[in-house]
Amino acid sequence: MLNLFNVRRLSWGSSTDGQEKVELSVTELESLRSELAYLEEREAYLKAQLEHVDEILRSARFSGYLYIRTRWTALPGEPPPLDDTDVDDWLPRFVVLNGPCIFFYLLSTDFSPQDSTLLADIVEVGSLPSFTRENDKTWYSSYILTRQGLRYECSSLSEVQVDSWLKVLQADIKLDSETEVPSWFQ
């Protein structure tokens, strides 16, 4: 954009009252107008993203980036899942606990989540053993198990962050004997 106002690119003239003025061709003027329209649209989009993030952070009870991977529990008659501890399929997600749901966003600026689960569908949360990943750093992890058999595994370099999520979820989820758990979990 600043290149448009380059002295070599624009013709400068002087008016009769002693002030300098810029002379633009029709093509240059249309190019400037379309560039300004694009910048105004981009600004509106970025403002909307910022307002959305602000709204999420104000209304969320808990939020932050975690590395997530998902696994399905084996159904009756299926062979047990393969040991996939060597598979590095952890993906960063912005996780938000808001109302009765946990939302999984690709980025904190996304307008809609990629996945979500109701707190009422969660049957178990707990810690997983820590593990070593890239650069020999220790990662701390936990899991969330739903009544449909979907297991979210969450990890972070911060043990405090993982423990905080666990404490918040354990406090929010009432895992009493009245909770209906499918027979294949027992």
pLDDT confidence bin for 1, thresholds 50/70/90? very low
Amino acid at the residue 137: K
| Per-residue model confidence (pLDDT) at position 184 | 42
Closest by CA position to 169, among listed 102, 94, 90, 103: 102
Over residues 128-144, the pLDDT tens digits come to 998 887 778 899 999 99
Residue whose token pair is 């750093």? 137
pTM above 0.85, yes or no: no
| Per-residue model confidence (pLDDT) at position 162 | 94
H or E segment and range at residue 155: strand 150-156
Over residues 79-122, the pLDDT tens digits come to 766 666 666 788 999 999 988 899 999 988 888 889 999 999 99
Q: What is the DSSP track for 49-118?
A: HHHHHHHHHHH-SEEEEEEEEEEEPPPTTSPPPP--TT----EEEEEEEETTEEEEESSTT-SS-SEEEE
pLDDT for 32 beyond 50: yes
Interatomic CA distance for residues 24 and 91, integer angstroms? 50
Closest by CA position to 68, among listed 161, 156, 132, 164: 156
